[in-house]
Every structure is written in structure tokens, then in C-alpha cells.
Structure 1
Amino acid sequence: MDAAPAPAPVGPPALLPLEDQGYLRLLSIFHYVVAGLMALFSLFPLLYIGIGLGIVNGWFPANNQASGGPSDQMAGWLFVGMGALFLVTCLTMTSLMVLAGRSLAQRRRHTLCLVVAALSCLFTPFGTVLGVFTLVVLLKPAVKAAFQPLPALP
């Protein structure tokens, strides 16, 4: 059997300056903080789901006529559907923020961290500030090199 060729020797990983190490640590912490805020704000779509279920069940009549007509049902299900869509979107983004925070601390998944930083800019004002600072730090060549996997030992 032919053995697989040994990987090409790679020099030691570039040392990350202390300033950039501190930035990555702070960015990791702030990703957790913003993820907590996102989790809190992701509870707001539950109001839409509750209102939609109230309309569907006739608790909130839409007009003075008898409730429960097809337009009321459709409006209620529209509220439920949109609320569920926003809830899933917010919880997904919250999960991605936590994963990016952990990845920043471990210096892994550089591309994921970049994508989450860009997406977090949509969550104004905190996510925008965090996203811009994260992009600035992650695009430094020394930081990008720190995210490269360690070479395999022979």
C-alpha cells in the first residue's frame, strides 16, 4: 500500500499581536452580549403570533359584523405566519451570533465570522457597530493568518 504523502512542512503560525488578541477577546464577548439582546428582541414576534391566534379564534373581531369570516381567518393566519417567520429568523441570527462569538474566541471559522459580522449590521444600532468593528479586525492579515489551522505534526 502506498502511504499518503506527508503534508508540506509549514512554518510556525504567525504570532498575533497582543492588541489584536485583545480585540478578538472583546469581540467575542460583545457577540455574546448582542446575541442576548437579539434573543430578547426575538420575543416580540410572539405578540404577532398571539394577535393572529386571537383573530383566528374570534377574540379580536376585525369589524362590527360577526367575526370569523374568511377575511378574518386569512388576516389572523397572516399574522401568525409573519410572526413565526420573524421568530425563526431572529432565533437563527441569535444562534449564529453565539456561534460567531465562540468561533472568534477559538480563532476558527473565519468565513462564518465574516458573514455573521456582515449580517449583524442589519441589527441597528448595536449590531451595526459590532459588525463594522468585527469586519475591520477580521480583515487584518495578521488576524486572518491566526485563523488558519495549525499544521499537522509528523
Structure 2
Amino acid sequence: MDPHMDPSIDTQTHTPASSVDTTAQDLEHLRLLSIFHYIVAGITALFSLFPVIHLVIGIAMVSGKMEASDPNAAIAGWFFIGFAALFIGLGLTFAGFIAYAGRCLRQRRRHTLCLVVAALECMMMPFGTVLGVFTLISLTKPPVKALFADA
């Protein structure tokens, strides 16, 4: 069959016309996924600040501002401070990775990092799970892998 006569084949590159449309659609998907990564990163950062309440209670226990009948209240306060700081730090770090993955999706760089962050996002019910699954589906498509390889 002559490729010049078949309308489903692009005569310039000899590729099916549907793959050209798929690339434009994949670019739009990557753009939207990037925006949603920024939104989920903001939500994650907000929720990671919830342990600030425990941090304040721990500081009050250590400084003596909170009256406690137990002499070991300062030790418990240090546990409150340590765990709160740990959870806040991990949450903000993860939010930073999500935002960075969104930037990498927009620039079509660091395919493996985007895959790892998308897999980790699946643990965050419900928004992270939805975003992670859609990101994994999009990133495993061969045309999208080619877009990352070209960049």
C-alpha cells in the first residue's frame, strides 16, 4: 500500500497520525499532572504541620509552663518535641519532593524520580493515591518515556 494514499499515515515522518495526536495528548497530561503535583504538595505541606500542636505541648512541658505532677514530664516533653519535629521534617521533605516531581514532569526530566515519587504518593489517601496512579499510568507509556529521553 502506498503511504501517500493512506490518510492514517503522516507522509512527513511515516508514522501513524494517531501517534502524533497521542504525543499532544500526552504533553497535555504531563502539564496537568504537573499542576496537580503542586496542589498535592501544598496539601501535604499543610497536613505535615499538624504535629506543631504536639511540638508546642512538648515545649511547654520542657520549659515548665505546663503544670505536671510527674517529675518525668520533661522527658515526655522531649519525646513530644522529637517526634513532632521528625514528622514535620519528613512531611515537608516529602511535600518538597512532590513539588519537585511536578517541576520535573513539566520539564520532562528525571523519569525515574517521577516514578518513585508517584509510587510513594499512592500511600496518601485519597488525593495522592489518585494522582500517583494516574502519574504511573502516564509515565509507563512508551511515547511518554520517549519524551523524557528526548529532553
TM-score category of the 2 structures, normalised to the smaller one: 0.7 to 0.9
CA distance in 2, matches of 1:50, 1:149: 49
Match of 2:130 in 1: 129
Higher relative contact order (CA 8 A, sep 6+): 1
RMSD between aligned residues: 1.6
CA offset at residue 139 of structure 1? Answer: 0.7
Aligned partner of 2:118 in structure 1 is 117
Q: How does 1:87-106 map to 2 (within 5 A)?
A: 87-106=88-107
SS in 2 for 1:147: helix
Indicate the residue corresponding to 1:28 in structure 2: 34
Larger fraction in helix: 2
Question: Could you tell me which residue of structure 1 aligns to residue 57 of structure 2?
Answer: 51
Shifted more, 45-54 versus 26-35: the winner is: 45-54
Q: What does residue 146 of structure 1 align with?
A: 147
Whether 1:77 and 2:78 are equivalent positions in the alignment is yes
Unaligned runs of 5+ in 2: 1-18
TM-score, normalised with respect to structure 2 = 0.81
Residue identity matched to 1:138 = L
For 2:150 and 2:23, the matched residues in 1 are separated by 18
Query: How many residues of Structure 1 are paired with residues of Structure 2 in the alignment?
Result: 132
Identity %: 55
Q: Which runs of 4+ in 1 moved over 4 A?
A: none
Distance 1:30 1:118 in 2: 15
TM-score, length basis structure 1 = 0.80
CA distance in 1 between counterparts of 2:150 and 2:142 reads: 15
Pick from 22, 32, 39 the counterpart of residue 45 of structure 2. 39
